[in-house]
A and B are shown apart, each in its own frame.
Chain A
């Protein structure tokens, strides 16, 4: 069974090691291209599918995300005061929950929906959150003033506030990912669909003069990469041949709270029982 995984690190590693050969190859391509590659609005539209028929709720995605994005644990004392930050959460609808019943009453993993019509962006007074042209709804830590309007606005409750400064066990942040900034206290944070990984893949593709392949991004975010049943698929909705585009047309596809008009680009696959 051949399953593609971890294309991102492999490419990066190959580039780091094969710098010499890469130089020759892309120099030729760039010379052919002529001028600096003029920036166009991104041709991509990133989305994600979570297959609930495969998902075992093992929560590997939760920790993979925390590890990749430097979301430190709260620690025993703070954990009783506020909910632990989980960019990828497992939502357990309680018995009385009326919202989000499109998926039945089962628990389900839920990252940021990266809506095409994001409510959070509308209410941010300082523009700390933006919808980029490739569909990622970004959160700029340095601009956030911590007013938390976005947390109120988000109908999926996928945003978290840093009540405390990030604290690693024993104060040793050695295992922090250097590609992702830490967030100080007073900043709202949320899933970025591992946009630092997407950016790296897109950049490397440009350096190579090659297009971004679906295979390279299929399991690109940390959650998708870790998931043992490969229930999480990432890809380009603007590419009609991508796996994700195929899945969005699957009769099992469900978009949460679609009726609100948020147009979430993260959707679910579920067989109704």
Chain B
């Protein structure tokens, strides 16, 4: 399904609308089909792929989002701490996402551990190992 983040940002949407976990949970979450249906319940005629949303909803299925960015299993990244406490913007890390016209098929996060630690040092956040390692 040709989800275009750029198109949704042009429509003045907020990241948190579809990824509500970013504010108060570790995972940012993906939208449920019910979330999409809030706007796409009625055909908007924007894109040939748009009816697919309604098709999923009608079948009672969730949209099978494919996760492309995955931290190693021993790393813990809490969105809430970064978005709400550190007041970072989504695009600070997810650089390519605002202008993406297609769903991601390759990872777009390229931060290394050193990148994270540098920012933590600058912002006086903890650099103790266990803060980020499970």
Q: Do A and B come from one complex?
A: yes
| Distance A1 CA – B134 CA, assembled complex (angstroms) | 35
Interface-side segment among B33-41, B58-66, B79-87: B79-87
Asked if A260 is an interface residue, CB under 8 A from chain B, the answer is no
Interface-side segment among B5-13, B18-26, B94-102: B18-26
**Distance in Å: Cβ of B111 to nearest Cβ of chain A:** 16
- Give the number of chain A interface residues (Cβ < 8 Å): 31
* Contact of A26 with B74 in the complex, beta carbons under 8 Å: no
Contact of B128 among A36, A37, A132, A207 (CB under 8 A): A132
**Distance in Å: Cβ of B4 to nearest Cβ of chain A:** 26
Nearest A residue to B16 via CB reads: A23
Asked if B105 is an interface residue, CB under 8 A from chain A, the answer is no
* Contact of B128 with A30 in the complex, beta carbons under 8 Å: no
Asked if B72 is an interface residue, CB under 8 A from chain A, the answer is yes
| Distance A19 CA – B125 CA, assembled complex (angstroms) | 24
Asked if A16 is an interface residue, CB under 8 A from chain B, the answer is yes
Q: Jot down 28 A-B pairs with beta carbons below 8 A, ordered by A.
A: A19-B21, A22-B24, A23-B23, A30-B84, A36-B86, A36-B87, A36-B123, A39-B125, A130-B129, A132-B129, A132-B130, A136-B130, A138-B128, A138-B130, A141-B74, A142-B72, A179-B134, A180-B134, A181-B73, A181-B74, A181-B133, A181-B134, A182-B73, A195-B130, A196-B76, A203-B80, A206-B81, A207-B85
Asked if B78 is an interface residue, CB under 8 A from chain A, the answer is yes
| Distance A132 CA – B132 CA, assembled complex (angstroms) | 12
Contact of B78 among A136, A143, A203 (CB under 8 A): A203
| Distance A37 CA – B73 CA, assembled complex (angstroms) | 27
Asked if A263 is an interface residue, CB under 8 A from chain B, the answer is no
User: Which of B's residues lie within 8 Å of A, judged by CB?
Assistant: 20-21, 23-25, 72-74, 76, 78, 80-81, 84-87, 123-126, 128-131, 133-134
Report which residue of A132, A143, A207 has the largest number of chain B beta carbons within 10 angstroms of its beta carbon: A207
Asked if A185 is an interface residue, CB under 8 A from chain B, the answer is no
| Distance A74 CA – B80 CA, assembled complex (angstroms) | 37
Interface 1/0 per residue, A186-198 and B, CB below 8 Å = 0000001001100
Asked if A53 is an interface residue, CB under 8 A from chain B, the answer is no
Contact of B84 among A26, A132, A192 (CB under 8 A): A26
Contact of A130 among B25, B72, B76, B128 (CB under 8 A): B128
* Contact of A39 with B130 in the complex, beta carbons under 8 Å: no
**Distance in Å: Cβ of B132 to nearest Cβ of chain A:** 10
Q: Which residues of B contact A22 (CB under 8 A)?
A: 24
Query: Considering the complex, which residues of chain A in the window 86-144 have a beta carbon less than 8 Å from any beta carbon of chain B?
Result: 130, 132-133, 136, 138, 140-143
**Distance in Å: Cβ of B85 to nearest Cβ of chain A:** 6
Asked if A199 is an interface residue, CB under 8 A from chain B, the answer is yes
Query: Considering the complex, which residues of chain A in the window 1-28 have a beta carbon less than 8 Å from any beta carbon of chain B?
Result: 15-16, 19, 22-23, 26
| Distance A182 CA – B73 CA, assembled complex (angstroms) | 8
| Distance A119 CA – B133 CA, assembled complex (angstroms) | 22
Q: Which residues of B contact A132 (CB under 8 A)?
A: 128-131
Taking A15-B24, A181-B73, A181-B133 as known contacts, 20 extra A-B pairs with beta carbons closer than 8 A to each other, sorted by chain A number, are A19-B20, A22-B24, A26-B84, A30-B85, A36-B85, A36-B123, A130-B128, A132-B131, A138-B129, A138-B133, A140-B74, A142-B72, A142-B74, A181-B134, A182-B73, A195-B130, A196-B76, A199-B131, A203-B80, A203-B81
Asked if A171 is an interface residue, CB under 8 A from chain B, the answer is no
